[in-house]
Amino acid sequence: MRDLYITRSGTLKRKDNSLELITESDKWHIPINEIDSIHILSDIVINSDFLEFMNKNKILIHFYNYYGAYSGSFIPPTEYPSGVVLVAQVEHYKSLSSRLYIAKEMVLSSIHNMRKVLYRYNIKTDEFNNIESRIKNKINNINDLMLSEANARKLYYSKFNLIINNNTFIFQARNRQPPTDPINALISYGNALLYNTCLSQIYKTQLDPRISYLHEPFERRNSLSLDIADIFKPLIVDKTIFNLINRKMLKEDDFERESDYCFLSKNGRRKFIQYYDERLRETIKHKSLKRNVSYKHLIKLECYKLINYFIEGKAYKGFKSYW
């Protein structure tokens, strides 16, 4: 099963029991049983018959706007929703101690994975020690935890120019809404893809993506995907960015600018998607399972760890890279 990324304009429709993408220059036949989820990053015409077919096959569709920012998702109803999991998920959100425990694990895992990325480039990481110690021993509310997470990520971003080995791209600081330079455009684009990859994996479990622990549920409709994505951003999105830039696969003309807005061109998006998807499908030897699993599957396993904590009381430990 693979994600389908559509970067060409045209019509996407049902063709018998499969899909067909029709553009000005070509047609593609896409077997439905090979599709995990669909990301639409261009102008695509669809109809109600196509959506009903997606609904029947439980395939999520994620939509992005002209600039590559996330617009929304088509999410089929869960076939077998679990009331037990939903109630437990809500109860653990309403319990400050439990919510804080989960959120701290997510932040500490994220910081650990930032350290691992920097370590691979021989960059000092001792500066994270005070932040981690404060999280473990002093923080007792979500707002302070979010602030510590933001400080850790700011420190992490300050090291990017030590990693980037390409004079074409200089990273000053993180900015969003809109991103104003190529590095920020890459981070925003990669994060948007990862949020929806996480949403697709959450959908395969019995978790409700609207109930989150680090981010407030009202911050975005499917805010649990933001929680889980934070753990994997350094390992998936940032490593993709460094590989593309340091191998000089991205050029200045892979970006476009409008006023203060910098974003990937269509060709730049195709390059990013190719390597992002390869990263998702890359496998590592899982310590507990004793077999190779993909980064994409690690996200799904993270969801199951939360369920095991909610239902069986097994301690939740966020994923920490061990290689």
| Digit-coded pLDDT (tens) for 143-197 | 999 999 999 999 999 999 999 988 888 888 898 888 999 999 999 999 999 999 9
pLDDT tens, 287-298? 888 899 999 999
What the block records as the tokens of 141 is 């509310």
AA identity, residue 248: K
Res 138: pLDDT:
95
Angle of the 224-233 helix axis to the 295-312 helix axis, nearest 10 = 130
Measured between alpha carbons, how far is 160 from 157 in angstroms, rounded to an integer? 5
What average pLDDT does the segment 13-36 reach?
91
Res 80: pLDDT:
60
Res 40: pLDDT:
96
Angle of the 266-281 helix axis to the 182-203 helix axis, nearest 10 = 50
State yes or no: pLDDT of 220 exceeds 80: no
pLDDT tens, 67-117? 889 999 999 987 666 789 999 999 999 999 999 999 999 999 999 999 999
What average pLDDT does the segment 231-242 reach?
97
Strand partners, 72: 63
Half-sphere exposure of 230 (CA within 13 A, CB side): 25
Measured between alpha carbons, how far is 262 from 307 in angstroms, rounded to an integer? 39
* DSSP state, residue 57: T
Architecture in CATH for domain 2-74 = Ribosomal Protein L15; Chain: K; domain 2 (3.100)
Angle of the 239-246 helix axis to the 182-203 helix axis, nearest 10 = 140
* DSSP state string for 68-79: S-EEEEE-PPPS
Outline where DSSP puts E strands in the chain.
2-6, 10-15, 18-22, 27-30, 35-40, 44-45, 60-64, 70-74, 255-258, 261-264, 283-285, 292-294
Q: Are 139 and 153 in contact (CB under 8 A)?
A: no
Topology of the domain covering 83-312: Four Helix Bundle (Hemerythrin (Met), subunit A) (1.20.120)
Measured between alpha carbons, how far is 310 from 323 in angstroms, rounded to an integer? 29
Residue 226 binned pLDDT confidence (cut-offs 50, 70, 90): very high
Measured between alpha carbons, how far is 7 from 274 in angstroms, rounded to an integer? 11
73 phi and psi angles, rounded to 5 deg = -135, 150
What average pLDDT does the segment 245-268 reach?
92
Burial class (CB in 10 A: 0-12, 13-18, 19+), 220: middle
| Residue count of the chain | 323
CA 254 to chain centre: 22
Q: Per-domain residue ranges for the chain?
A: 2-74, 83-312
Res 90: pLDDT:
96
Q: Are 199 and 62 in contact (CB under 8 A)?
A: yes
Res 20: pLDDT:
93
AA identity, residue 151: N
Q: What is the pTM of this model?
A: 0.93
